[in-house]
Structure 1
């Protein structure tokens, strides 16, 4: 597989595997966009292999002349069968939408942005007009707050013993309901967790290694409300 700058592959025609990944995140895409897609066909993709997982940028035909660009992460190297997780969506792209990738952003997870985003990016054209557009936000930026997924609940479960040791509590209810993510050397997560008539915020780091990955608790904020915003913190 030919690799582009920063380890990303060149843009290639979608495969059955790519379509399967798309199908697995369709519910997440529809929930984020508020759409129900009758047509939902992967046509192009790029991928980036990292220890512990794969990142995908996928161009999806969603009907007529309309295309969506997806950022998807597939975790590997674990006994738990984690499904692909949606990291961002760009709607209403054309079939020929150009693709850009900043040299400083090539190993960063790409969060969604809109054409009105005022963040000043140093964008360098790298690909042809038939390639994908990356969903680049500022390097190291946190994602928007999103509803939980099976993968996020698994991460929450892995951190439970560490949280109980930190707080001195034993939780019967321990359910992730919201999260934010940030890709660095590994991944950071802010999790809002229902612990039974109360909510905690967790700061969790996923460390990738040659043996797979492990979950490390970095901090806990106790006694938050259901609507209290997820804001980066350490303690």
Structure 2
């Protein structure tokens, strides 16, 4: 992996699912929609001044979305934040930087 580049896609861990779950209420509010299913499928990371997490989520009924969540370095005392997300994705869409 080149510095600042994305890792290869990895299998989701409970920590990654929890990170996606933390962003679900914000996305539901922005989309004015409820997602009964919100399962992280895979993820990639990018090391910056903290870590960007790119997470593919199955939102149910054939709908997928990509999340970009920034988690700052521990000494910042700040929590993770939703930087961006993309709706209208499919299961086959690759996770790329956005």
TM-score (norm 2): 0.89
Q: Which residue is 1:214 aligned to?
A: 79
Structure 1 vs Structure 2 CA RMSD = 1.5
The answer to whether residue 36 in structure 2 is matched with residue 176 in structure 1 is: no
Q: Which residue is 2:28 aligned to?
A: 164
Structure 1 residue 151, shift from structure 2 partner: 1.1
Structure 1 residue 210, shift from structure 2 partner: 3.5
Larger radius of gyration: 1
**In 2, Cα distance between equivalents of 1:211 and 1:186:** 9
Q: Which residue is 1:232 aligned to?
A: 97
Query: Is the 8 Å Cα contact of residues 172 and 195 (structure 1) preserved in structure 2?
Result: yes
- Displaced runs of 4 or more, over 3 A: 209-213
Say which structure is richer in strand: 2
Q: Which residue is 1:150 aligned to?
A: 14
Stretches of structure 2 lacking an aligned partner (at least 5 in a row) = none
Query: Is the 8 Å Cα contact of residues 179 and 192 (structure 1) preserved in structure 2?
Result: yes
2:4 aligns to what SS in structure 1?
coil
Corresponding residue pairs, total: 97
Say which structure is richer in helix: 2
Considering Cα pairs closer than 8 Å and 6+ residues apart, tell me whether 1 or 2 has the greater RCO.
2
Alignment of 1:170-209 (within 5 A): 170-197=34-61, 198-209=63-74
